[in-house]
Chains A and B, each alone.
Chain A
Amino acid sequence: MSKTKIEEFDRSIYNLKNKDNYDYKIQKGITKEIIEEISNQKNDPDWMRDFRLEALEVYNKLELPTWGPDLSELNMDEIATYVRPKTKLNNSWDDVPEDIKNTFYKLGIPEAEKKSLAGVGAQYDSEVVYHSMKDDLKKQGVIYTDMETAIREYPDIVKKYFMKCVPVNDHKFVALHGAVWSGGSFVYVPKNVKVDIPLQSYFRLNSPESGQFEHTLIIVEEGASLHFIEGCSAPKYSKINLHAGCVELIVKDNAYLRYSTIENWSKNMLNLNTKKAMIGKNAQVDWVTGSFGSKISMLYPLSQLNGEGAKTEYTGISFAGKGQNLDTGFKAIHNAPNTSSVVNAKSISKNGGKCTYRSLIKISPKAKNSKSSVSCESLMLDDISVSDTIPVNDIQTDEVEFSHEAKIGKISDKTIFYLMSRGLSEEDAKAMIVRGFAYPISKELPVEYAVEMNNLINIELQGTIG
């Protein structure tokens, strides 16, 4: 709170629209010909071209989910799935075209790169336009690049892992992703290498009536560690945009990965994203997620605890305003003994927004002496907003410690009166209560992101009074 200069913040930076000045934009829709053309445009190797076409077949066979938010307004015939910006991949911001560079400067990416990041990737529409990493990490054998480069330069690693963690038949939008994916980040951290300073990829969708389908594949070898941050945003258009990314995290024995996300898609975005981590013996994956944007989100990161003693923590907050339906949560599958999962999920809804926390905790018979504790808390800022909790717990052994706690609350008039008696306006009082509610999540984020999250809270709360 004390670090945030609320008054000076300008929401227009997220809404900055550049001219749809692409190098190539595929025709709208999803057909075999379109997939083949994307593959041509991207110069895929044969195996990737075949992979895309198989994924398309799966996509055509699968139905939309029968649960969760209504996705009927999504018409794939109205979405261009590949938009190539007018630039190649650059490793200096000076080489990035002015309009695109300005966008990332306004989002603060190059500044954060100088101050607090060891490497940055920036994607604009369907392709990564900038990638860079500090030399000392390169010397230690760390690879951080866009997926296309990874396919060319590290085909064996990519082939071994690409969409093995998240198979294309997982659900319809994963299959779609498999068919049209483009961009994203590839990270490889060799055995015992500790990357102390975070890497960050930022995904910006500028083109109207289009989709972004970046693929992120991170492999953290035995005993290695990494903090990876992803950010995403888009300007608002009147028609639907689609985001169906895929994140695959392979975290081997005794390794550690922290995966932080600040998502601020525009409110015409359908965000149907899939994220999954495979976690080895005594390894740990921590997810930290702030979800503010999108019209509809369906996102349930999954931690699969495969090795004995594997651990995972999920710390997430979602904030739904008018017209938003954020259906988010977390899944943990305990497949080995002595594994543990900890969930701390919070949601805030206002002006008729809807937040649903949907979770699965599965503890298999093999996972003896495992622990799981789930806490979810919702705050509704008015009487027209909605909050729901839908936990599924599938516990298949008795030798576990399991706890689940859910709280749904409202801001009381007494609390507002108390804060107003200390000189805070009603709006300030509400913002302070919400910031405090979000603090257990924001304190887990890197400082700049905690500030950004507080800014987003303040923006979201503006105009809620009266």
Chain B
Amino acid sequence: MNKTLIEIKDLHVNASEKEILKGINLKINKGEIHVIMGPNGSGKSTTANAILNNPEYTKTQGSIVYEGEDISNLKTDEIARKGIFMSFQLPEEIPGISVTNFLKYAKNKITGEPVKIFKFKEELKKYMEELNMNPKYMERSLNVGFSGGEKKKNEILQMLVLNPKLAILDETDSGLDVDAIRTVSKGIEMFKNDENAVLIITHNNKILHSLKVDYVHVLVDGKIVTTGGQDLATEIENEGYGKYKIL
């Protein structure tokens, strides 16, 4: 039996005084993979940022209830510690902080428990192998000098290590070649279980060729205009968003 993990109700969000989201409704149960698709500028990334309460965006109406608690006014780090993770479209570079030290520190902040370094490094190594990442990256500064593909894999690595309940992947597949997309899909499959959920935000559906999803939502001009299954993604791949823009 499915249980609600997060429910977004009538969410309106402004960015620089302009209304971007105009009433989003979305319910995600544990064990589900959801996809939000939509043309550029429709508000996909804004949805992800609003859930994490990025201060660049202002919520003007609506609520985000996560595990029975309205989290819409919590600080980003509090939301993260409750188990929500976001993979960034453009991950930031942190010179002088190695991937290992960063993740160890973040893991400690999220779990509130000391991290056992040996076991932690073994776990990290294992995940990096699965994601075809060079283990040397463990000691490199976070994202500094990483290629676009390496940065995205590093986001998936962070998701696996931090093991959130809700993983939001914002355009994680964009700019990746077929092999890298397959690796990302593999990462999602490794992560996924009956107790967590994934929200994939994408403007193309290549990633859906190698991943089975439960729901596809089409977002146009700040509203979800239709929801369907995997076949909706196929329809959009063939016909584009034209039909929904008219609505």
Contacts and interface: CB of A to CB of B under 8 A. Distances in A.
Contacts of B105: 1-2, 424, 428, 432
A354 B141 CA distance: 28
Contacts of B77: 420-421, 423-426, 428-429
Interface residues of B, number: 30
Nearest to A440: B96
Nearest to B117: A2
A72 to B, nearest CB: 38
A436 B94 contact: yes
Given A423-B77, A426-B77, A432 B94 contact: yes
A415 B97 CA distance: 13
Interface string A381-420: 0000000000000000000000000000000111101111
B162 A414 contact: no
Interface in B67-84: 75-77, 79-81
Contact of B106 (A417, A424, A438): A424
A378 to B, nearest CB: 14
A421 B97 contact: no
Interface string A107-122: 0000000000000000
B177 interface: no
B85 A421 contact: yes
Given A1-B101, A417-B76, A422 B158 contact: yes
Given A423-B77, A435-B97, A417 B54 contact: yes
Interface string A69-98: 000000000000000000000000000000
A257 B74 CA distance: 53
Interface in B101-140: 101-102, 104-106, 109-110, 117
A184 B27 CA distance: 71
Query: What size tier do the contact residues of chain A reach?
Result: 20 to 34
B175 interface: no
A423 B162 CA distance: 10
A158 B110 CA distance: 59
Nearest to B142: A436
A433 B106 CA distance: 13
Given A421-B52, A423-B77, A428 B109 contact: yes
A418 B80 contact: no
A433 B88 CA distance: 18
Given A414-B92, A440-B96, A421 B101 contact: no
B86 A421 contact: yes
B98 to A, nearest CB: 9
A177 B73 CA distance: 59
Nearest to A422: B106
Nearest to B48: A421
B197 to A, nearest CB: 17
B56 interface: yes
Contacts of B88: 418, 421
B106 A423 contact: yes
Interface string B151-189: 000000010001000000000000000000000000000
19 contacts: A1-B97, A2-B117, A415-B92, A415-B94, A417-B55, A417-B76, A418-B91, A421-B52, A422-B109, A422-B110, A422-B158, A423-B81, A424-B77, A426-B77, A429-B77, A436-B95, A437-B96, A438-B96, A439-B97
Q: Which 7 interchain pairs have the tightest Cβ spacing?
A: A436-B96, A439-B96, A423-B109, A420-B76, A418-B92, A436-B97, A422-B106
Interface of B: 52, 54-56, 75-77, 79-81, 85-86, 88, 91-92, 94-97, 101-102, 104-106, 109-110, 117, 141, 158, 162
